[in-house]
A and B are shown apart, each in its own frame.
Chain A
Amino acid sequence: MSTLQIDFGHAKPRIVGIDLGTTNSLVAVMDLTGPRILSGIVPSVVSVTKSGEVIAGAEAREMLITHPERTVYSVKRLMGRGVGDVQDELKLFPFHVVPADAEGSESVLKLQLGDKIMTPPEVSAYILRKLKEDAEDVLGAEVTQAVITVPAYFNDAQRQATKDAGRIAGLEVLRLVNEPTAAALAYGLDKRKEGLVAVYDLGGGTFDISILRLHDGIFEVLATNGDTHLGGDDIDNLLLNIALEDIQSEWGEDVSGNASLVQMLRRAVIQAKEALSFAPAAMIDLEYGPRQYQREIDVELFNRLIEPIVERTLGPCRNCIKDAGITVEQINETVMVGGSTRIPLVRSAVERLFRKRPHTELNPDEVVALGAAVQAGILGGEVEDKLLLDVTPLSLGIETMGGLMSKLIHRNSTIPASETELFTTAVDGQTNVLIHVLQGERELVKDCRSLARFDLKDIDPMIAGMARIQVRFLIDANGILNVTAKDLRTGKEHSMDVKPSYGLTDDQVEAMILESYDKAEEDFKERQIREARVEADAILGAVDKAKEDDAYQALAQEDRTAIDRSINELRLAYHSDDHLLIRDQIEKLNQATMALAEAIMNEAVGKALKGTNIND
């Protein structure tokens, strides 16, 4: 056993694939036989305990009921967003948001949990750390590199926030992969698959539609569309609001301020929602102290309630087909991804729109993580015959005179994609030029998403129009913007300051890494030592007990000396910080006690046999 683990440590480091979901997260890895899920589903919930410890996953989910005010769920909906963006849903979240500073709504959102203040990337980092640890436990080796999936329709700030979360968690994020694309990769792993595939991905908080052409191992995304604020959460909130109103009229009390009750009710409506995918009716059932609330919801009512939500997914689908330059008849297959695609109304709407029965045979909860693992295999060089060609979901542009957006890179361009633009000064002696970079499809700046402001500074004072600075906008394979500037007069790179509109600056991320994960690298080692010590305790205890056995006295003197020596050596190694040494000594003690174990075993078997005889 221990030998095997040591061997693993020397192998090429494994890249894991992570589905960082709104509701649940998963980690997977590429094996020789294909992608494999490592450990179980980790609920995307993070909680701060009274003592200030931060926990993530199933444990944290329990805290939603007991300590809702210090527990965060669905943090993905807050990634890369400003306070102004999320007012509506904040009403339903039990935790507090630190109010925006005087600068206005364009700044990173901060959450107050107990006495800790955290940004969404920091919260997500705790989920990622949990997944990293789970993966390390299964693989028996440290994990430092990952592929993380994001909704295809995530903008630059949301992608950057996800990448930051990885860095804070001690993971080098080798690639961000779009969720529907990852799903297609898992789905089309079979090399013979060819043709046009539509992936409809309705998850806990986001909706994506992507159309891909599969050809000879190449997965080429033709177009993508979606809504990063649409998913199962919205259905939960609809049901929750109905239940809250019911309770108000039944109990004569507004309970919406009671965070603990609201979370229990949320759990009850989710149960009812899930049951409605399989039954004609379901009960929302809440017991709160001596009081009870019950309400039956039938499929007919449920469908009527959620129809607007399902309808909202169809517009992006139609636009996506149009952008892909194809007709609906040309699509060979439709693949369903995300837990919300279990809802029959969603399935029938998709079937009607695409005019064919969608594929539902893949587990919609796992397929994205599996695809991420395949992409990890591509990056690691284990998968050589596959290649993803993805696109940028939104057009990228800059602000021009009169508050207009001038597009430089159009949506659905294959990434990496780039464009250069020449900038100059407008007045004599001007020493800096401000570039406001935006993402979106609308013509006016105010209708687009501000990404960042770049300040080309320290321009030598000269006559207006003489400066010539070439700025290159590159959207990399992660869908993240990189900007570089070159002074054409000197041929040198031109420096600039970057102020992300809704993201963290590089320095901020670095500070967070130092601050909250000082010991991140030590961590895996510590855990291995801890585990080795637990094993050492077990064997030392067993040997102590065995020494009381008659069989021990029957051993030759030299065998007993050998055992004692091994015990001493293990005790010495026990306090070292070298887990391999501890395991070596465990192995030696194992060897030394082999004869003893055999003797005890024989004795036990003998006794057992004798016992049988007597009873007969």
Chain B
Amino acid sequence: MRFYDALGLEPKLALDSDDLKKRFYDRSRQWHPDRFSRGTSEEKKRSEEMTSMLNDAFRTLRDPVTRAEYFLRESGLELSKDAPPELLEEVFELNMALEELRGGDESARGQLVSAQERFTGMLADADSGLGGLFTSYDGKPDAAVLEQIRATLNRRKYVSNLVRDVEKELNVHSAN
């Protein structure tokens, strides 16, 4: 996986963030275009390519979620855009409440605030769950664990969109 290669790492799901940062800084010092401003045009081009790859790699790998998404994609697994079935009922109610608030019904606000709290909690749960799954897969690469990671990421992505929408709606209406 080229992003791992760029940072001189084995493709693992769990990474030490301090080590990652150190690798990024060390390689930036070596490869950055600033170091080649008096170099040949070939050196400049190479430096630009290696640095842009390094930057893209660091940006993707430093965040556990984008890192796992990248890892899955490279392993041939795509995330789905559908709502996780276990959330369907809740999302249905949430959308009703959002509609009510948009229509000016302030009584929906309390329901939305508590939904927001619940979803934020789900996000935190998903994040802490990911850590365990990462170490488990790194220790013993098992397709079933990868599948579990995918399911967690799907739910996480969906929930985080919900949190964003609810937040936006609450802010818009409190601003009025």
Contacts and interface: CB of A to CB of B under 8 A. Distances in A.
B52 A387 contact: no
A381 interface: yes
Interface of A: 174-175, 215-216, 218, 375, 378-381, 387-389, 413-419, 474, 476-477
**What 9 A-B pairs are tightest by C-beta distance, nearest first?**
A416-B52, A379-B37, A414-B55, A418-B52, A477-B33, A378-B34, A416-B51, A416-B48, A174-B37
A414 to B, nearest CB: 4
Contacts of B59: 413-414, 417
Contacts of B56: 413, 417-419
A215 B21 CA distance: 11
Contacts of B25: 215-216, 218
A215 B37 CA distance: 23
B34 A388 contact: yes
A13 B131 CA distance: 54
B17 to A, nearest CB: 12
A477 B48 contact: yes
A387 B48 contact: no
B37 A415 contact: no
B31 to A, nearest CB: 10
Given A215-B25, A381-B38, A388-B34, A414 B58 contact: yes
Contacts of A413: 55-56, 59
Interface in B18-50: 25, 28-29, 32-34, 37-38, 48
A454 to B, nearest CB: 19
B108 to A, nearest CB: 26
Contacts of A378: 34
B33 A416 contact: yes
9 contacts: A174-B37, A175-B34, A218-B29, A375-B34, A379-B38, A387-B32, A388-B34, A389-B28, A415-B55
Interface of B: 25, 28-29, 32-34, 37-38, 48, 51-53, 55-56, 58-59
Contacts of B29: 218, 387
A375 B33 CA distance: 12
A216 B25 CA distance: 9
A418 to B, nearest CB: 4
Contacts of A389: 28, 32
Contacts of B51: 416, 477
A379 B55 CA distance: 20
A292 B53 CA distance: 64
Nearest to B32: A387
Contacts of A388: 34
A417 B34 contact: no
Contact of B28 (A218, A381, A474, A476): A218
Nearest to A477: B33
Contacts of A477: 32-34, 48, 51
A170 B52 CA distance: 29
Nearest to A409: B56
A318 B56 CA distance: 26
B37 A476 contact: no
Given A414-B59, A418-B56, A476 B48 contact: yes
B52 A175 contact: no
Contacts of B34: 175, 375, 378-379, 387-388, 477
A322 B55 CA distance: 21
A566 to B, nearest CB: 42
Nearest to B34: A378
A378 B33 CA distance: 11
A378 B28 CA distance: 14
A419 B53 CA distance: 10
Given A413-B55, A414-B58, A387 B37 contact: no
Contacts of B53: 418
A388 B59 CA distance: 16
B55 A416 contact: yes
Contacts of A218: 25, 28-29
B160 to A, nearest CB: 15
A421 to B, nearest CB: 14
A466 B63 CA distance: 36
Nearest to B25: A218
Nearest to A416: B52
A375 B35 CA distance: 11
A477 B35 CA distance: 12
B52 A417 contact: yes
B38 A474 contact: no
A445 to B, nearest CB: 21
A387 B28 contact: yes
A175 B52 CA distance: 16
A216 B26 CA distance: 11
B35 to A, nearest CB: 8
